[in-house]
């Protein structure tokens, strides 16, 4: 077997093709936050890693608790890859639920209160020394339609970026 090194700008990428649907919302959110990015590689170079809480495609309209729980071992291992983690953005209700299941296993309580995201946005939540920022899901066309959520998510990304840079 021959291992081939794939150039960073290749379409055959860990994050999918350069024109993946989620990038049509992710890049504009970072740009609206005042962060100069044009690709997922620019985001990675900032020290920002993007992942999904659920590792399998959803088969129904909503993501089931069982589906979240099946993905938790992989998500927990993924989080452990970053020993110097400073900020975790929970973008969407599924991410909040997954993180709360993890925190509840370890501390017997939810790290993130189970209330609406807009009520949590200006709350400083710290879990194991890591700042937790609940926000809105950055993928899908709804974020482009709901201008207020786009605005709030970009503000949350700007906060996340300031917190990362502050501690560098």
Average pLDDT, integer, range 96-107: 94
Beta-carbon count within 10 A of 18 CB = 15
Domain boundaries, the chain: 50-166
Q: What is the pLDDT of residues 111-142, one digit of tens each?
A: 999 889 889 888 999 999 999 999 988 776 66
pLDDT for the residue numbered 143: 72
Encode pLDDT of 63-75 as tens digits.
888 999 999 999 9
Res. 43: pLDDT tops 70: yes
CA-nearest of 75, 12, 18 to 41 is 18
Whether residue 6 has pLDDT greater than 70: no
Largest CA distance in the chain: 53
Q: Output the pLDDT for position 167.
A: 65
SS3 87: strand
Q: How many residues make up the chain in this entry?
A: 168
Six token digits for residue 1: 């077997």
CATH no. of 50-166? 3.40.470.10
CA angle 72, 73, 74 (to 5 degrees): 90
Distance CA 105, CA 70 (A): 14
């Amino acid at each position: 077997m021959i291992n081939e090194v794939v150039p960073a700008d290749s379409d055959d990428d860990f994050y999918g093709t350069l024109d993946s649907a989620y990038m049509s919302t992710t890049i504009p959110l970072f740009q609206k936050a005042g962060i100069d990015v044009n690709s997922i590689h620019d985001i990675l170079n900032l020290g920002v890693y993007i992942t999904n809480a659920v590792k399998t495609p959803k088969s129904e309209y909503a993501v089931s608790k069982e589906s979240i729980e099946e993905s938790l071992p992989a998500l927990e291992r993924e989080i452990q890859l970053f020993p110097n983690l400073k900020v975790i953005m929970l973008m969407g209700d599924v991410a909040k639920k997954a993180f709360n299941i993890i925190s509840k296993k370890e501390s017997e309580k939810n790290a993130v209160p189970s209330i609406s995201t807009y009520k949590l946005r200006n709350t400083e939540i710290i879990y194991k020394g890591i700042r937790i920022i609940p926000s809105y899901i950055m993928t899908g066309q709804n974020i482009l339609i709901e201008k207020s959520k786009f605005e709030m998510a970009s503000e949350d990304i700007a906060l996340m970026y300031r917190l990362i840079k502050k501690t560098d």
